[in-house]
């Protein structure tokens, strides 16, 4: 399963590139274009599952539990799609509050690099509690 992940990410990059290059409906809303651009840019980073697991154990496990199963008021984070996890972590890293644990998540996400976020997302997509 881990060998197929880089192929999936590369496919997303190609599909995003060609989808943007060919163009789309001229009635497309600006926010849809912006989301597509962000997703395409994020897909350029290939997450390393092993590095993501190590980062998870250092940064996330105390609140989200083993393999992201969730603990108490901290949600399950395993099994999420890569773009979803990247988007959430970037939102927190940018300082945006979106829930009751936002202050803690902002503090934890602030120092993460783009590559570390991609690594975490790759790990969490395949992690099974």
Q: For the chain, which domains are there?
A: 4-126 (1.10.760.10)
Say how many Å lie between the first and final Cα of the chain, rounded.
16
pTM of the model: 0.66
Query: Tell me: the pLDDT tens digits for 25-81?
Result: 444 444 454 555 555 555 568 999 999 999 999 999 999 999 899 999 999 999 999
Bridge partners, 74 (sequence order) = 71
Whether the Cβ atoms of residue 55 and residue 116 lie closer than 8 Å to each other: yes
101 in helix, strand or coil?
coil
Query: Tell me: the pLDDT tens digits for 74-127?
Result: 999 999 999 999 999 999 999 999 999 999 999 999 999 999 999 999 999 999
Phi, psi angles (nearest 5°) of residue 74: -100, 125
Query: Residue 2 carries which DSSP code?
Result: T
User: Of 99, 96, 117, nearest to 45 (Cα)?
Assistant: 117
| Helical pair 30-43 and 4-22, crossing angle rounded to 10 deg | 140
């Amino acid at each position: 399963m881990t060998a197929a992940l880089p192929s999936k990410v590369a496919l997303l990059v190609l599909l995003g590139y060609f989808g943007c290059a060919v163009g789309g409906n001229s009635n497309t809303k600006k926010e849809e274009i912006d989301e597509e651009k962000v997703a395409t840019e994020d897909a350029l980073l290939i997450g390393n599952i092993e590095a993501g697991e190590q980062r998870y154990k250092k940064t996330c496990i105390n609140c989200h539990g083993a393999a992201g199963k969730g603990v108490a008021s901290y949600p399950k984070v395993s099994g999420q799609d890569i773009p979803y996890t990247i988007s959430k972590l970037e939102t927190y890293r940018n300082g945006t509050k979106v829930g009751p644990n936002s202050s803690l998540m902002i503090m934890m996400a602030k120092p993460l690099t783009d590559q570390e976020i991609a690594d975490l997302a790759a790990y969490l997509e395949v992690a099974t509690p």
